[in-house]
Amino acid sequence: MNGTAVRPVLASEWVKARSTLASMISLSVGVVVSFGLALASGYSIRVAIDRSSDAIRSDFHPIDAGFGGLLYGNVAFTVFAVLVVSSEYTSGTIRASLAAVPRRGLFYLCKLGMAGLVCLVVGGATVLGSFLVTQVALGPHGVDLNAPGAVRAVLGGLAYVTLLGVFAAAVAAVLRSTALSLGILIPFFFVVSPALWMIPATRSAARFLPDQAGMRAMEATVGPGELTQNQGLLVLLGWTVLAVAAGYWSVRRRDA
């Protein structure tokens, strides 16, 4: 797969994505929601600490608090990644796209590459911005990027957003439906997985779920029985590779 073949396909995928109104709206919403929740979260923690230090858990760390808004804003990045792949199957334009790019492997990998690049750029700005907004809102209780572990946590957040976006896009390639993909991923990421994490009996297994493992990459502290930053990233990477492989098989072997 040479660069002369990849570049025009990537460019065409970017044109498709930016011409889809829902995709652009989802990215904008993701940024706004992440920043808004970061501000609200940081300020509420600051008020709670100022009123009574007993109101904050003993294991509170300002770096760990820096990405609370991102976890909920990430739903918009998931929607974007799914739409990059599923919208063509839903609209029926996938046949024309495959006629224009008959090399299905190239077509699929460029779709995922474009989704990953956008999540990397926009998600990276959102991760850094959310962290800084939270620290400003925390006031004297916040830290800056020079604090030990801060840069590593921001980079972990960047990897989290990017890999989870690629994972979502790959799942959409398998399911081939916007409604089905979002109907599974959104409840799983934001209802089922957090619920399993909160239940002591299922927490040891839930730590290996892709979203829960990825969240560990953004934390400066490691709780009892939790994965470390590196372990969390490796687990999320493993899930992403499996999803990409399944999507590749689906695009190559199944009819459009």
Residue 256, SS3 per DSSP: coil
Instruction: Return the minimum-mean-pLDDT range out of 123-137, 155-169, 172-186, 217-231.
Output: 217-231
Burial 184-199, CB ≥16 within 10 A → b, else e:
bbbebbbeebbebbee
Distance, CA of 80 to CA of 77 (rounded, Å): 5
Instruction: Return the minimum-mean-pLDDT range out of 25-34, 68-77, 103-112, 153-162.
Output: 68-77
Model pLDDT, residue 210: 93
User: For residue 52, is it left (φ>0), alpha (ψ between -120 and 50) or beta?
Assistant: beta
Model pLDDT, residue 59: 63
Model pLDDT, residue 2: 52
Banded model confidence at residue 3, pLDDT cuts 50, 70, 90: low
pLDDT > 60? residue 250: yes
Please provide the distance, in angstroms rounded to a whole number, between the alpha carbons at the two ends of the chain: 22
Banded model confidence at residue 231, pLDDT cuts 50, 70, 90: very high
Model pLDDT, residue 242: 97
Banded model confidence at residue 207, pLDDT cuts 50, 70, 90: very high
Model pLDDT, residue 225: 77
How far is CA 60 from its chain centroid? 24
Distance, CA of 32 to CA of 26 (rounded, Å): 10
